[in-house]
């Protein structure tokens, strides 16, 4: 073979380039993995069921207006697909490096752990966005069929909020993934929190403690659906029933964005901090 160029500290690519390399190969790994296709199948199945139900039952709540259609369809499906995507792609993104020992192949190279973390985060986010995009395409195809190619601006906002929520969920999943060395633990904790615990806390805090659940990410994510409701739900609605007052809270758009973006930043930073300090033992 021809003369080899000496590889030394000066020839190591920048951390940004290395981050892109990690994201690229991680993404290839997702595409070659079964879980990508399982999640794709779930997205297609849920979309197909909705398509069938709307076509056969013609529910008035869906077909009264274009905005109602998007509010009901996308509002129902977006949060679920965001949470599932986060769990599928981020749930064990870091913990698997420890449990499956792939970290022993990647980490002992001249690359910062932060580049590995961020690279994996970006690839998980992109893989999740692809699943969301497919779900979105089916949603829009149905909407175009019933209402023609008019897209309400509220729906565009809802898509943007879904992406911010995805970043927030991904942050949480990466945090738990950095916390545990077992893939099953990290996936399980993320799934239980987002599918059950956060919703339960949100309900209990609002109805029992009578406090706005501003610290719960699913509360912030309610803006994905609420932005498509006309009028936008009031921030606090109190109802008295047999002497008991129950207050229902809805996050304002600003408040929802603050909650989601805060969680995205805090969890991402905390997850990275843990990964930087975790030993491969």
Partner 1 sequence: MVSIEAIGLTKNYGSFAALSDLNIRMEGSKCVGFLGPNGAGKTTTLKVFADLISPTSGRALINGIDVHRNKRAALASCGTLVETPEIYPALTPRGALMMIAELRGIPKSERAGRITESLAEVKMEEWADKRVGKFSKGMKQRINVASAILSDPEIVILDEPTTGLDPRGMSEVRDIVKSLKKKGKLVFMSSHLLSEVTEICDEVAMIDHGKLLVYDTLANILSRFSSSGNVVDVTLARATDADKLKARISSLEGVASVESVDPLNFRVGIRGGVEAQERLLTDLVSLKIGVISYKDASLALEDAYLNLIKDTK
Q: Applying CB under 8 A, which residues contact partner 1?
A: 1-2, 4-9, 11-13, 15, 18, 21-22, 25-26, 28-29, 31-33, 100-105, 107-113, 277, 279-281
Token pair for 191: 């799934």
Nearest-CA neighbor of 166 among 132, 143, 200, 207?
132
Nearer to partner 1, 109 or 240 (CB): 109
Q: Shortest gap between Cβ of 95 and partner 1 (angstroms)?
A: 14
Nearer to partner 1, 36 or 62 (CB): 36
Nearer to partner 1, 147 or 273 (CB): 273
* CA pair distance 106, 276, nearest whole angstrom: 14
Nearer to partner 1, 97 or 202 (CB): 97
Q: Shortest gap between Cβ of 127 and partner 1 (angstroms)?
A: 13
Nearer to partner 1, 242 or 277 (CB): 277
Q: Shortest gap between Cβ of 189 and partner 1 (angstroms)?
A: 23
Residue 248, strand partner residues: 237
Q: Shortest gap between Cβ of 191 and partner 1 (angstroms)?
A: 23
191-195 contacts, C-beta under 8 A, 24 or more apart = 191/87, 191/91, 194/83, 194/86, 194/87, 194/169, 194/218, 195/83
Nearer to partner 1, 104 or 146 (CB): 104
Q: Shortest gap between Cβ of 100 and partner 1 (angstroms)?
A: 5
Q: Shortest gap between Cβ of 190 and partner 1 (angstroms)?
A: 21
Q: What is the dihedral of CA 81, 82, 87, 89, to 10 degrees?
A: 100
Nearer to partner 1, 61 or 100 (CB): 100
Q: Shortest gap between Cβ of 113 and partner 1 (angstroms)?
A: 8
- Return the sign of the alpha-carbon dihedral for residues 9, 10, 14, 18: negative
């Amino acid at each position: 073979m021809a003369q080899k160029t000496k590889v030394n500290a000066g020839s190591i690519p920048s951390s940004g380039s290395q981050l892109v390399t990690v994201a690229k190969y991680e993404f290839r790994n997702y595409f070659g993995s079964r879980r990508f296709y399982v999640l794709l199948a779930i997205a297609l199945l849920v979309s197909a069921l909705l398509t069938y139900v709307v076509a056969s039952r013609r529910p008035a709540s869906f077909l009264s207006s274009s905005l109602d259609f998007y509010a009901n369809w996308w509002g129902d499906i977006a949060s679920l697909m965001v949470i599932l995507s986060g769990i599928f792609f981020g749930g064990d993104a870091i913990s698997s490096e420890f449990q499956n020992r792939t970290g022993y192949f990647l980490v002992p190279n001249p690359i910062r752990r932060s580049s590995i973390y961020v690279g994996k985060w970006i690839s998980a986010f992109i893989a999740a966005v692809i699943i969301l995009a497919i779900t979105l395409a089916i949603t829009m195809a149905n909407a175009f069929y019933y209402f023609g190619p008019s897209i309400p601006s509220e729906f565009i906002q809802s898509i943007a909020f879904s992406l911010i929520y995805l970043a927030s969920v991904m942050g949480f999943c990466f945090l738990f993934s950095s916390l545990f060395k077992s893939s099953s633990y990290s996936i399980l904790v993320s799934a239980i929190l987002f599918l059950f615990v956060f919703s339960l806390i949100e309900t209990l805090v609002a109805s029992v403690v009578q406090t706005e659940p501003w610290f719960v990410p699913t509360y912030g994510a309610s803006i994905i659906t609420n932005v498509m409701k006309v009028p936008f739900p009031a921030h606090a609605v109190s109802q008295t029933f047999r002497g008991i007052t129950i207050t229902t809270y809805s996050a304002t758009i600003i408040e929802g964005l603050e909650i989601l973006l805060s969680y995205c930043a805090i969890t991402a930073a905390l997850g990275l901090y843990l990964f930087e300090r975790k030993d491969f033992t």
